[in-house]
Structure 1
Amino acid sequence: MINLDKMDISEPFDTFRKYYEEARKKEQKIIEAISISSYDKKNSIVDSRFVNLKYVINNEWIFFSNYNSPKSMQFESHEQISALIFWNSTNVQIRMKAKIKKTNSEFSNKHFQSRDSTKNLLAILSQQSEPVSSYDDFLRNYKKNLSSKQKTIARPEYWGGFSFSPYYFEFWEGHNSRINKRKFYELKKQEWKSGFLQP
């Protein structure tokens, strides 16, 4: 699930809400999955991965990650990203372009403390994307620490939120014979311009 809070009722945000509710009613699996593409300046390549979109608050799209991870390093060196959602239950694709930044510490703390302690333990133990001798070794270490009686875990400084506010949307509806409907919105001089794209 995605927590939609204080979301603008105007376009294009109302269109996003409409498609989200349709997918939710169709019981879309992993509805919060969103692909984030970033630029790796060091190796001159584009990199993509799925993350869990947790909130849309005041038109800020928010997810959480390890700040020492490769994607976080890419965000820091190149703030431009693209994002993609696909809900197969309704055959809808949503593309976004935006600049990304970290959320403030207070928000990250609040979200961290709302999570299950098993997830927070993983956030502390995992040096995300670093090599490991084997999956079984990591799992063994995780279970060993899981047996600890410590219930409350403080958020580590290297873990927190990222937010982005899109300046471009494309809403894609798949139709028969590939005559797909594509409507875009682009923010120019603080005003949203819209139009349609050919299939």
Structure 2
Amino acid sequence: MALNLADIRLEYSQHELSPDDCLPDAVAQFEQWLHEAIAAEVNEPTAMHVASVDEHGRPSARIVLLKGVEHGQLVFYTNYLSRKGRQLDANPYLALTFFWPELERQVRIEGRVARVADEVSDAYFASRPYTSRIGAWASEQSNVIDSKTVLVSRAAGFGLKHPLSVPRPPHWGGYAVVPDRVEFWQGRPSRLHDRVLYTLQADSSWLRQRLAP
């Protein structure tokens, strides 16, 4: 049966948003919305769509979990040798998107990215469940494997090698995104959505502007 996607429509009406309603700092405003998403029990509130670009200008995207908002930066962790890790080595900029449909909200963030300090990655890695730490060793992320058995076998081998204490692999760690452009989107009736754009200025202040939907 053919899908009639054109007839799928929702009318948004929960909240309004204007530049005057927003905090002066874009990251503080993001944290406020994130807290509200968590309080509202939004499904996977820290899930973000992460888009990166390789050395040829070809983009790719995937869902990654946000693991910290620290000193005006957004932090996540991954395998440095993965496809996104290689892309970030070639082009250290990211675009992030959070979508919280239960609140009819979206946040888009763009900025430069850099690896966090080793001690920060070490501390987060140590907080992970044992099986996740073993998995970081076992998975050669983004590489082709012959079967799931290969992955399970590698995990078992690293489990025997590290039965208690699991050090952080040198190829695994955190990235911090320093935003310079942040947009808050609030769904409104008749598709006249509220959009507030923050742009980072030379003096580190944020310019707030309303965008047409």
Q: What is the percentage of aligned positions where both structures have the same residue?
A: 27
Q: Which residue of 2 aligns with 1:55?
A: 68
How many pairs are equivalent?
A: 190
Q: 1:84 & 1:30 partners in 2: Cα distance?
A: 13
Q: Which runs of 5+ in 2 are unaligned?
A: 1-22
CA-CA distance at 1:146 after TM superposition: 4.7
Task: Select the residue among 83, 87, 103 that pairs with 2:96.
Answer: 83
Q: 1:153 & 1:144 partners in 2: Cα distance?
A: 13
Spell out the pairing of 1:22-171 with structure 2 (5 A cutoff). Answer: 22-42=36-56, 44-139=57-152, 141-142=154-155, 146=159, 150-171=163-184
| Greater Cα shift, 139-148 or 91-100 | 139-148
| Greater Cα shift, 84-93 or 129-138 | 129-138
Partner deviation per Cα, 1:25-52 (whole Å, 9 max, x = no partner)? 210111111111111114x311111111
* Bigger strand share: 1
What secondary structure does 1:168 align onto?
A: strand
Q: 2:62 & 2:147 partners in 1: Cα distance?
A: 22
Q: 1:11 & 1:152 partners in 2: Cα distance?
A: 41
What secondary structure does 2:143 align onto?
A: coil
1:15 matched to 2:23? The reply is no
| Greater Cα shift, 23-32 or 179-188 | 23-32
Greater radius of gyration (CA):
2
What secondary structure does 1:166 align onto?
A: strand
Verify the 8 A CA contact 2:24 2:206 in the aligned structure 1.
no
Q: Do the aligned partners of residues 121 and 187 (structure 1) sit closer, same or farther apart at CA in structure 2, a change above 3 Å counting?
A: same
CA-CA distance at 1:132 after TM superposition: 1.2
TM-score, normalization: structure 1? 0.88
Q: 2:187 & 2:152 partners in 1: Cα distance?
A: 41
Q: Which amino acid aligns with 1:68?
A: L
Q: Which residue of 2 aligns with 1:173?
A: 186
Q: Which has the higher contact order (CA 8 A, sep 6+)?
A: 2
Q: 1:73 & 1:141 partners in 2: Cα distance?
A: 23
Partner deviation per Cα, 1:44-100 (whole Å, 9 max, x = no partner)? 311111111100011111000111111111111111221111111211100011000
TM-score, normalization: structure 2? 0.83
CA-CA distance at 1:176 after TM superposition: 1.9
CA-CA distance at 1:140 after TM superposition: 5.2
Q: 2:148 & 2:101 partners in 1: Cα distance?
A: 31
Task: Select the residue among 177, 184, 201 that pairs with 1:188.
Answer: 201
